[in-house]
Amino acid sequence: EPSELPKQWDAMYVPFQADAVRLALLAKYGGLWIDVATICLKPFDWWIYDAIRSDERLEGIGAFYFPSWGVEQGRGAEYMENWVLAARRNHPMIIAWKALFNDYWDSVRVGTLDPIGLPEHTMFWHVDLSFLQRFGHDMRAYLVMHACFKKLIDERLDMRQIWQQEMLLLRADEHGIWHLDEPDVHWDPTAGVQKWLCVHDEPWVRRVLSRCPVLKFVSQFALRLDAEPRQRYLEEEGHPRCSLSAVLRAALSFQLAE
């Protein structure tokens, strides 16, 4: 419903619209949000969703975190990724997160990729967002969902307790984005295409299949992969087996649930 989104939703840049929609849907219905360019290699019930919906466990939200961007670099879990989010319906953290996100957007002029003023906005005066300034990038204005999450866990004890005790937290650099962060690729799209499509690296395939329930491809990688013919990933029309096609072939071998 329009009332569940920021008032200026129609004028917002698409990535921010997507953030508003994911929070609104998860708050109202619960379930699982998955970004585009995210390939599922194992059934979600196996590794995240069974825990979230179980009455016998405390965890009501499941997500990946990226410790390289944590407050304590390499260990902190403040940088909550949002490309896979699982939550119970009407979960208090998702509801609070959505309300704070909408309040911010209702108070600023929208229509730009990097909304001017988030670091200086009164909502964030006492929130340390310095962890979003790293590796030569200042992401504070772009990562509005992340800034709102940090404000929640900094200022509300109930939200901090949920984050520390009632969330299923998975390391992104060991699972969902290991293939982007590992030394042979290290966030270089050209190196990634070479590694995944030009060779068949069996140890890499085994590592991905054993440790990575999903593979998330950020935009610069996804665009390169989208440009390749479908047959290359299916080993059709003379295309030889490569690392990524071997992973996809193994993933497609899972039997569908009844």
| Model confidence pLDDT, tens digit, residues 155-164 | 999 999 999 9
Q: pLDDT tens digits for 11-27?
A: 888 999 999 999 999 99
Kindly list the domain boundaries of the chain, sorted by start residue.
Answer: 2-174, 178-257
pLDDT above 70 coverage of the chain, percent: 95
DSSP classification of residue 81: E
Long-range contacts of 197-203 (CB under 8 A, 24+ apart): 197/225, 197/228, 197/232, 197/242, 197/243, 197/244, 198/242, 199/242, 199/243, 200/240, 200/241, 200/242, 200/243, 200/246, 201/243, 202/246
Distance CA(9)–CA(2), nearest Å, equals: 8
Q: pLDDT tens digits for 165-215?
A: 999 999 999 999 999 999 999 999 999 999 999 999 999 999 999 999 999
Q: pLDDT tens digits for 55-85?
A: 999 999 999 999 998 889 888 999 999 999 9
- Residue 117's pLDDT is what? 75
Over residues 24-32, the mean pLDDT reads: 97
- Residue 141's pLDDT is what? 84
pLDDT band at 111 (very low <50, low <70, confident <90, very high): low
* H-helix or E-strand spanning residue 34: strand 31-34
Distance CA(36)–CA(3), nearest Å, equals: 25
pLDDT band at 252 (very low <50, low <70, confident <90, very high): confident
Any idea which of 47-51, 193-197, 254-258 has the lowest mean pLDDT?
254-258
CB-CB contact of 62 with 49 (8 Å): yes
- Residue 113's pLDDT is what? 54
- Tell me: pLDDT of 256 over 80: no
- Tell me: pLDDT of 243 over 60: yes
- Residue 139's pLDDT is what? 84
Over residues 116-126, the mean pLDDT reads: 85
- For 101, the token pair is 């996100």
How high does pLDDT run on average in the chain? 92
Over residues 234-240, the mean pLDDT reads: 90
- Residue 105's pLDDT is what? 92
- Tell me: pLDDT of 114 over 70: no
Q: Which of 4, 18, 16, 40 is nearest to 214 (CA)?
A: 40
> What are phi and psi for residue 152, nearest 5 degrees?
-60, -50
- Residue 137's pLDDT is what? 83
- Residue 251's pLDDT is what? 87
> What are phi and psi for residue 138, nearest 5 degrees?
-110, 100
- Residue 58's pLDDT is what? 92
Q: Helix, strand, or coil here: 20?
A: helix
Q: Which positions ≥6 away from 10 have C-beta within 8 Å?
A: none
CB-CB contact of 229 with 191 (8 Å): no
